[in-house]
Amino acid sequence: MGRGLKIALQAGAVLLVALLVALLGWQVFRTNEGRELAGKVDSGQAPPAPVFELEELDGGGTVSLASLRGKAVVLNFWASWCGPCKDEAPELEAAWQRWRDRDVVVVGINLQDFDTDARRFVDRYGLTYPVLQDREGWTWGRYGLKGLPETWFVNTEGRLVGERFEGPVSAEDLDENIRLALESEA
């Protein structure tokens, strides 16, 4: 075997192993990123909310989290097949109606669902706040979601504040955390 060929093969092998290690590291980092985010919120830190840009369920275009800067945002992750999502839907719509004139926006993020089922759900519960579709489940990993529904609160500076709810959220919890999101500054 020629010396040049030998060096080329060795360099190729090292490069391949480095690439695989980098891919593994990236995957581990991304998985932990979401899990750490939930931990930071639970411990009272105010980490920046992972940004996203998703299509609206009604086909009205896309909405990005960055475009909502300056408003308190209630992020509700849901699916039509999820029982607790049905329980909390009227509370979320009522909170939207109570707060929509005060720089607050409720955003529903529909995950792991069929478009038709999600639209039927929106019609059935009369939801008028923006509902976005995350077909690829991008926010699932970035926010470290454990199940549906989950509700998070973003303050006017784009940071996650207050409590994080796994399961249905009540009117009292919504009001309390919306107030916190409006008042809190990092």
Residues near other proteins (CB under 8 A) are 1, 5, 9, 12, 79, 81-82, 112-115, 117, 135-137
> Whole-number minimum distance, CB 42 to other proteins, in Å?
23
137 vs 167, beta carbon nearer other proteins: 137
> Whole-number minimum distance, CB 167 to other proteins, in Å?
16
Exposed e or buried b per residue across 166-176, where buried means at least 16 C-beta atoms within 10 angstroms of its C-beta: eebbeeebbee
Identity at 91, one-letter amino acid code: E
| Alpha carbon separation from 186 to 47, 103, 144, 179, 183 (Å, rounded) | 9, 18, 22, 15, 10
> Whole-number minimum distance, CB 56 to other proteins, in Å?
16
Identity at 22, one-letter amino acid code: A
CB 183 within 8 A of CB 107: no
144 vs 158, beta carbon nearer other proteins: 144
| Alpha carbon separation from 134 to 16, 60, 85, 166 (Å, rounded) | 33, 15, 16, 18
44 vs 59, beta carbon nearer other proteins: 59
- The values of phi and psi at residue 95, to 5°, are -65, -40
1 vs 101, beta carbon nearer other proteins: 1
123 vs 172, beta carbon nearer other proteins: 123
CB 68 within 8 A of CB 107: yes
- 3-class DSSP state of 162: strand
> Whole-number minimum distance, CB 116 to other proteins, in Å?
9
> Whole-number minimum distance, CB 67 to other proteins, in Å?
23
> Whole-number minimum distance, CB 76 to other proteins, in Å?
17
86 vs 98, beta carbon nearer other proteins: 86
